[in-house]
Amino acid sequence: MSKEPFFYGIRHLSPAGAFYLREFLEERRPKLVLVEGPCDLGDELVHMQNPKARPPMAVLAYTMAVPVRTILYPFAVYSPEYQAVLWCGENKVPCRFMDLPTEVFLALPREAEAPEGEEDRLDVYRALDARTGEDGHETFWERTMEQAGTAQGYHAGANLFGENLRELTRERERDWAEIQLREAWMRRQIRTAVEEGVAPDDMVVVTGSYHVEGLKNWSQPPSREEEEALKALPRTEASHTLMPYSDYRLSSRSGYGAGNRAPAYYALVWEAFLRGQPMGTAYSYLSRIAAYLRESGTPVSSAGVIEAVRLALELARMRGGKIPALRDLRDAAVTCLGEGSLAAVSLAVADTEIGTGIGSLPEGMSRTSIQEDFYRQMRELKLEKYRDVSAQDLSLDLREKRSAASEKSAFLDLNRSFFLHRLRVLGVSFAQTQARCQDNATWAEQWVLRWTPEAEIELVESALKGDTILQACGVQMKEQAREAENMAGIAQVIEDAFFCGMAAAAVYATEELARRAVDTVSLEELARTAEKLSVVIRYGSIRRVDAAPLLPILDRIYYRACLLLPGACVCDDAASGSVSATLQQLNSVALAHDTLDQESLVSALWQVAGRDDLNTKLSGFAAAVLMERGLMGTEQLKLEVRRRLSPGTPADLGAGWFEGLAMKNRYALIARLSLWESLDNYLETLDDEEFKRALVFLRRAFADFTARERDEIAENLGELWNLNGQQVSEAVNVALDTQEAGMVENLEDFDFDF
Amino acid sequence: MEQNNVQRLPAEQLFQKEIDALIAAEKDPVPTGWRMSPRSVRTYICGGTAGKTKITPKYIGQERLVEIAIATLVTDRALLLIGEPGTAKSWLSEHLCAAINGDSTKVVQGTAGTTEEQIRYSWNYAMLIAQGPSPAAMLKTPVMTAMETGTIARVEEISRCASEVQDALISVLSEKRISVPELGMEVPARKGFSVIATANTRDKGVNEMSAALKRRFNIVVLPTPADLEAEMEIVRTRVEQQAGNLDLNAAIPDQEVVEKVCTIFRELRNGETLDRSQKVKSASGVLSTAEAISLLCNSMALAGSFGSGAVTDYDLAAGLQGAVVKEEEKDVLAWKEYLENVMKKRGSRWLGLYEACRELNR
């Protein structure tokens, strides 16, 4: 019992703990410091000690095999563990992590997310909350530990807290078995160190106060079962990296377990400790809130801040404290600066408590190769200034800059676009495209760039797919193509490959597509795929992608679609909308590529236009397309109009056909007086009931004509009826009065079923 | 004046025993001018024990708000309590004064007719004319008295006062003294002086408080009770207290009656049923907790004077009708809709009340 290591029980992310621990180390000058943390992360210690590494930072460990599992160890500047590591670095004292290695942690079976066994611990906290009558154990902890005032007080308090918590939840915690294992492992690490010749009392063990009790009997040889269990630990291949972290992620509000509610506030507490003025936190917290409010346009007087400090102090006193806790400060801010309402100061409070701080690491520090590739490309593409937590816009012009000196700078924006698209495909949330306006869709791109620690994690995760971004992106696309559920999914991959400038991936996906196109019978899907391919082929040149291998497959898909077209036109009115859109797509694809066999589409169109057994609206639309293409002349149209609108044709068929026809080339239609004459004659022949039915269709057909177009139609009708165009126009364009509106309403209820 | 005949005793007399017990059991330091420590004030307001005496809770709600209010008064800042009508603003202010000073009677009631003199001082004009200005001819206001004695003055409904009256209060609060040029003297405030003002959020725009005045106050917003249980608790305690005061010859309404009234009030106030499954039209009135309390007392009076002594659905219905229907047309509709769509479908437990209410609404 004579020689014992010193067990320093701490709470993670505790400014007071960090401060006193440092003081303690300074005084005790141990020869070895053991810190609770996975022992295989030892190589990160050097990086953490690098003076250029700025917290918050985190160590991320991840499995090499899919599905990727990760664990994260975040450190803030006021993490006692971090300060212990730093102290060791400054004083050239060896330092080790002593917990189970990450390869074991990641292999331990994890129960599903339901934390049922946590109940006990929660119960204890709840009982604690009820006893203190405050808003939670965070406040309890702050008042009793963080504000303990002396190192001894903190140390004794933390140990007692850990001991009691351990007693109360002993053997009932869900992961009790795991805790046992971890402590056995840590005891072994202490023994190993002693065997290596470090005197126990030259050693300081920094661990969560909960574990202090479990480590005290380190010198006892382990039991047999324990040995067995340690030997039988599962392992999985794992890798790890140090990465920058952010205040936002640290705050538990964003849902990450290991963190605290108010990282920026605790940073203020830490600074106050360093200055030796514990009250300083109150001043800096409230002044910050005031400054934020002023900046956002709310006047706040210094007198108000002073009052807030006094109130906070008084609130702390009512609870027996000498220094305001976070809760007192926030309530004081609400009362004195926010006129009693939290809403008025909530943004300022969030900014001051959570903060926007983000850590940084010197370049090249323990990164996976894909991260290195990322940072190299960021540099090459001059994108580094966008690596920031606030969102920034970036607009790209993909065209070659002919004035540029080198090819690299001539295609800078294009390469940027490739890079950002590749990240997008990999699911790294660094860049988001913005909707583009149609005019410059092909050569201009709008991006919003925002760098977050999440993006870093996503980047690290994609390391599994390859060592560089290009490689990982290729693997990702192949996977997507293989797993796509339909052709459109593969077409999406092809489009992505084109956006990413990756011809090889495009070819791979195309082959996959060709294989599947044979089995596909959905016209809609074929047309959508054809359109996507068409875009890639047409605009491939601007991205310098050779689209030639895509042409044959487009040809096949297009031909299949043409064959399926007449059959798809047997449908009801509800479905006709999507078929007409498909028809339109096919038509524009055909028009865009001379190499496609125009005849196959045209003959299909003639079929649709001429047959009487198809949906009349689609027949009308096909006629409109033929007219647009200049294939249906005036005479033919006149004939067709007369045939379709001949007396005796049911109103919904006749008017439906007209509706389809009117979906295109309005000006050409308006100009043809004979058309209106036919329509007029047709309507004359209808009886009252039939007329009502026709009215519904016609009303729909004319609904999206502009006022000007209606004017012109009115002129035509006026001519037919020998009326002044003006009068007809007024009658047509005037808004409905209530009585008429009522009549129209009745039409809507019209029963079409008979 | 004989105490028993007073219609409403001030808080410090009603709860004399509790206050004495708290003072006797005092362990913490007492601020200058106070009769007990801030913690004891909290116990007095929120309930607890002092020695062997049980302290009844006076304010049921967030204890933290009470703490903020008390801490404000310790810092000699003025306190402004704002909230919807019937959220116990005046109630809290009265009890704070009772506990801190043992005197809750230094009140200025803010109205449209309140003048500056009611804040500062005025004169006994007969004496002023007969003898000229003298301290004896001066009439001190509650605020001035509070300054002289180092105690707390209350200003009720401050937003109803005209702006010059509010301005008069500014100088009192910032200078902490009132000068009396007629007598060539100044009345400085002794330690312990402060002001508790109350204001109504529904009165916004009547006389908006100036930024300068608001800056002199720490503002505490009192919320409506958070949930049904809290509101029932408040209503039950207060009805018991009042019934004792008013000598009503009726039994205290049982839990079920209180629950029904609170449910109806909460639902019509929030515009949806308690389980949030159905929207209801909200009534134009405030339907505050205070109204629920007076409604139940009314019903008790009805039952005691004309009925059997137990509050029946019929007694309740009359009260409810009066409380809900304030603006004839609109409220009648809302109330009828509520009766048919919500209450009728609540099953047998509510059937009696529903029948009685419908009867009155015919």
Q: How far is residue A165 from each of residues A179, A205, A212, measured CA to CA in Å?
A: 14, 20, 12
Backbone angles phi, psi at B287, to 5 degrees: 55, 55
Determine the residue of chain B that is closest to A327 in CA distance.
B64
Question: Do B75 and A317 count as a contact with CB atoms less than 8 A apart?
Answer: no
Mutate to test the interface with B, among A328, A330, A339 (most CBs of B within 10 A): A339
Q: What is the ipTM for the molecules in this complex? A: 0.81
Q: Would the CB atoms of B77 and A331 count as touching at under 8 Å?
A: no
Determine the pLDDT at residue A171: 64
Phi, psi of B196 (to 5 degrees): -110, 120
Q: Do B71 and A315 touch (CB under 8 A)?
A: yes
Q: How far is A340 from chain B (nearest CA, A)?
A: 5
Query: Could you report the per-residue pLDDT of A557-610, keeping only the tens digit for each?
Result: 888 888 888 888 888 877 888 888 888 888 888 888 878 888 888 888 888 888
**Structure confidence at residue B72 (pLDDT):** 93
Q: Determine the 3-state secondary structure of A753 from DSSP.
A: coil
Residues of B in contact with A336 (CB under 8 A): 218
- pLDDT, residue A521, reads 67
Positions of chain B with pLDDT lower than 70, given as ranges: 1-4, 204-206
Determine how many CB atoms are found less than 10 A away from the CB of residue A158.
27
Least CB-CB distance to B218: which of A299, A311, A318?
A: A311
Q: Where are the beta strands (DSSP E) in A180-336?
A: 203-208, 238-244
For residue B68, give the nearest of A135, A301, A331 by CB distance: A331
Between chains, do B71 and A339 touch, taking CB under 8 Å as contact? no
Residue among A134, A298, A306, A315 with most chain B CBs within 10 A, to mutate: A315
Contacts with B220 from chain A: Cβ below 8 Å:
335, 340
Structure tokens at A745: 């309403």
Angle, CA of B203, B207 and B212, to the nearest 5°: 120
- Tell me if A340 and B70 make a contact (CB, 8 A cut-off): no
Helix (H/G/I), strand (E/B), else coil: A203: strand
CB atoms within 10 A of CB B362: 4
A341, closest residue in chain B (CA to CA) = B221
User: Half-sphere exposure (CA, 13 Å, Cβ side) for A209?
Assistant: 23
The three-point CA angle A534-A536-A541 to 5° equals: 120
Looking at residue A750, its pLDDT comes to: 52
Give B82's contacts in chain A (Cβ within 8 Å): 340
Query: Which of B71, B77, B214 has its CB closest to that of A339?
Result: B214
In angstroms, the separation between the Cα of residue B244 and the nearest Cα of chain A is 32
> A711: which 2 tokens?
């004017």
User: B214: which chain A residues are within 8 Å (Cβ-Cβ)?
Assistant: 339
Determine the distance in angstroms separating the CA of A315 from the nearest CA of chain B, rounded to an integer.
Answer: 6
Using the structure block, give the residue that is written with the tokens 């709470």.
A11
Q: Which of B38, B82, B218 sits opposite A307 (nearest CB)?
A: B218
Element (H or E) spanning A707, and its range?
helix A707-721
What pLDDT score was predicted for residue A67?
63
> CA B157 to CA A276: how far, in whole Å?
46
Q: What share of chain B is helix, strand, coil (3-state, %, to 5)?
A: 55, 15, 30
Closest alpha carbon within chain A to B174: A303
Chain A residues lying within 8 Å of B74, measured CB to CB: 314, 317
- The span from the CA of B318 to the CA of B340, in Å, is 17
Closest by alpha carbon to A262, among A164, A329, A185, A314?
A: A329
Closest alpha carbon within chain B to A317: B71
Nearest to A683 by CA among A647, A632, A719: A647
Q: For A343, name the nearest residue in chain B, comparing CA atoms only.
A: B221
Separation in Å, CA of A70 to nearest CA in chain B:
41
Per residue in B215-238, pLDDT (tens digit) is 889 999 998 888 888 888 888 888
**What residues contact residue B333 under an 8 Å CB cut-off, 6+ apart?**
B281
Tell if the CB–CB gap between B38 and A317 is shorter than 8 Å.
yes
pLDDT in tens, A439-470: 445 677 888 888 877 787 678 767 667 777 88
CB contact under 8 A, A314 and B71: yes
Q: Please write down the long-range contacts of A394-397, taking CB distance under 8 Å and 24 or more positions apart.
A: A394/A431, A394/A446, A394/A447, A394/A448, A394/A449, A395/A444, A395/A445, A395/A446, A395/A447, A396/A444, A396/A445, A396/A446, A396/A447, A397/A443, A397/A444
Pick the residue of B46, B81, B198, B215 with the most A CBs within 10 A to test the interface with A by mutation.
Answer: B215
Tokens of A107: 């292999």
Q: Do A335 and B70 touch (CB under 8 A)?
A: no
Range 234-263 of B in CB contact (< 8 A) with A: none
Count CB-CB contacts under 10 A for residue B283: 23
Beta bridge partners of A72: A60
Interface probe, candidates A310, A319, A335, A342, chain B, greatest B C-beta count within 10 A: A335
Burial class for A414, CB neighbours closer than 10 Å (0-12, 13-18, 19+) = buried
pLDDT tens digit sequence for A93-110: 999 999 888 888 888 776
CB contacts, 8 Å: A318 with chain B: 38-39, 42, 67, 70-71
Q: Rounded to 5 degrees, what are φ and ψ at A130?
A: -65, -40
pLDDT, residue A440, reads: 45
- Between positions 25 and 64 of B, the ones with CB within 8 A of A are 38-39, 42, 63-64
Query: What is the distance in angstroms between the Cα of B81 and the nearest Cα belonging to chain A?
Result: 9
Nearest residue of chain B to residue A329 (CA atoms): B68
Q: Are A628 and A664 in contact (CB under 8 A)?
A: yes
Residues of chain A with pLDDT under 50: 1, 112-119, 253-257, 439-440, 752-754
By the 10 Å C-beta count (0-12 exposed, 13-18 middle, 19+ buried), A250 is classed as: buried
pLDDT at A746: 65
A318:B214 CB<8 A: no
- The alpha carbon of residue B191 is apart from the nearest alpha carbon of chain A, in Å, by 16
Size of interface A-B (CB pairs under 8 A): 51
